[in-house]
Chains A and B, each alone.
Chain A
Amino acid sequence: MTSFRYQDEYTTPPARQITPTTIERFEHVFEVDPSLMTDNVAQQVFPNWDTKRIVAARWDHLAWIHTHFADSVISGEELLRSLDD
């Protein structure tokens, strides 16, 4: 069960630098380094639930795409080999 508490949702977990341009606040959720987000796209205030919702929705959507449109699943190796052939 989830519940909403202001302090829990608006306190962002500390960032860990993953690459020179990427940080991680939630496990396996990567974000562009905020210092690079100043010119063209203004970052928004994200409560934590929203980040998690988007990540979950993306996985759900990819699974939905597979269910509805993928007849078979091939490996990256097979894909590369088919390009060479």
Chain B
Amino acid sequence: MSEHHAHGTEPSSIELLPIELLPIDTAQASSDFVDEWRNAAYNCYSSGHKFCREVCPVMQVTRNETWTPTAFHANVVAMDKGELDIADIAEDYVNCTQCGACELRCPNTLMLGDFYRFRTRTVDLVKAVRTLAVDTGIHQPQWKTWNELTDARSHEPVLGEQPVGQDSVREWADGLDIPIGGDDILFVDCEAAFYRTSVPRAVAQILQMAGHEFGLMQEQWCCGGPAAEMGYRDQAMRFARHNLDNWKASGAKRILVLDPHDYISFTEDYPKYFGAEFDLEIVLVLEVVAEYIRSGALTPRVAIEKTITYHDPCRLNKRKGVWKEPREILRSIPGLTFNDVDHVTQWSYCSGGGGGLAIEKPELTALISGARIKKASELSVDTLVSACPWSERPLSAAGEPENIDVVDIHEMLAESLGITVGGSRGAR
């Protein structure tokens, strides 16, 4: 249990009261929440195998039992029994990157999920608790500011005080002659569009080299995924509605996605928001590019003399099962010495950058990314390749003192294709 009142949040007037004595909105919202999650919580609570603990990146670096996936489910049981309410536990649920390791490694998923059509859903539970907190007026200070700024600017404030907004969301594409609209739309996440602009520039030029026709959105907003992850679901849905309407208005048929976090938003959140109305095709750029290499439409020829390892982004590897294509791409690049770590071992790896953790608790993100870089360091590599822009900032910071460079897979492939990428890798 957290002591939220010691950290400046203000739900104290409603804490420690039985559900029936809480203000009506909070009581109803809490009751609805418990009704939705009771079954899942008891099925976790009664299992007790706890394989989730050691694959959890937060648990690995904190050993804090109140921040385990098991505790996250047990709290629901306690809420059901009237022992806890949302004010008691909201702050604990900050401590999750939503990497999905716990729910994949849980035997209820890995061994039985498909058989019972029932699996552990810690990520959804964490999102639901955070949503309940926000809906009942309990905010984490950094998340509140972040989402207010996102709402005001239609993009996440990834550059801090430096403004981001609609007038600059396509600046990364300067000089690349990319049209607006078309059947295929390239969606670029906020971190890549404003901070690591070398990633979308690499992606765009790779696709152009392969002859893939695509355009940009007329008016792109943030995907809304981070807001959903932090509990600001209404805001997330408003952003999603804008993007879907914009795609439909321009006649888009296919959305090309370069960021794993966007891929989650578009294949998991948007279908829940819109149902069958969400009738666009969502394609991961990594898979498109791997296919172009297989077919011979792209052939990396420029040797890159580096010793690398690959960081499996959580949202691709654990949450989507995408791990072959990145390795296929890297093995097609001449000159590389590739010290790979298999994708199952990497179920317990994480950059610490996901789920809003880096915004509310950057010190915890730094511990997790430091642990990830240490594993790379033990392989005697000079470069860690990732495929997720959101992992690349914390990993770069952790890699600097270890002399490990962090490169995006699209940047590296573009270089091997002889493309001068341009843009920024985040240095400001």
Binding site for B on A (CB under 8 A): 1-7, 9-10, 29-32, 34, 37, 41-44, 46-47, 49-58, 60-61, 63-64, 67
Give residues of chain B (276-293) contacting chain A, Cβ–Cβ below 8 Å. 276, 278-284, 287-288, 290-291
Residues of B within 8 A of A30 (CB): 115
Residues of B within 8 A of A57 (CB): 104, 110, 321
Residues of A within 8 A of B115 (CB): 30-32
Interface centre among B281, B287, B344 (most CB of A within 10 A): B344
**Known contacts A41-B116, A42-B118, A56-B321: does B281 contact A3 (CB below 8 Å)?**
yes
Cβ of B117 and Cβ of A31 under 8 Å apart?
A: yes
- B contact face: mostly helix, strand, loop, or mixed: helix
Residues of A within 8 A of B282 (CB): 3-5
Question: Is B271 located at the chain interface by the 8 A CB criterion?
Answer: yes
Residues of A within 8 A of B254 (CB): 3
A35 to chain B: closest CB distance in Å?
12
B296 to chain A: closest CB distance in Å?
15
Assembled-state Cα–Cα distance A5/B344 (Å): 27
Question: Is B39 located at the chain interface by the 8 A CB criterion?
Answer: yes
Question: Is B343 located at the chain interface by the 8 A CB criterion?
Answer: yes
List 9 A-B residue pairs with CB atoms under 8 Å apart, sorted by A's residue number. A2-B287, A3-B254, A5-B280, A32-B115, A41-B118, A44-B119, A54-B109, A57-B321, A63-B344
**Known contacts A53-B321, A64-B344: does B118 contact A44 (CB below 8 Å)?**
yes
Question: Is B162 located at the chain interface by the 8 A CB criterion?
Answer: no
Assembled-state Cα–Cα distance A46/B110 (Å): 14
Cβ of B320 and Cβ of A61 under 8 Å apart?
A: no
Query: Which residue on chain A has the smallest CB distance to residue B38?
Result: A42
Assembled-state Cα–Cα distance A52/B276 (Å): 21
B412 to chain A: closest CB distance in Å?
20
Which of A3, A6, A50, A64 is close to B279, meaning CB atoms less than 8 Å apart?
A6
Assembled-state Cα–Cα distance A61/B278 (Å): 33
**Known contacts A57-B110, A64-B345: does B267 contact A4 (CB below 8 Å)?**
yes
Cβ of A43 and Cβ of B275 under 8 Å apart?
A: no
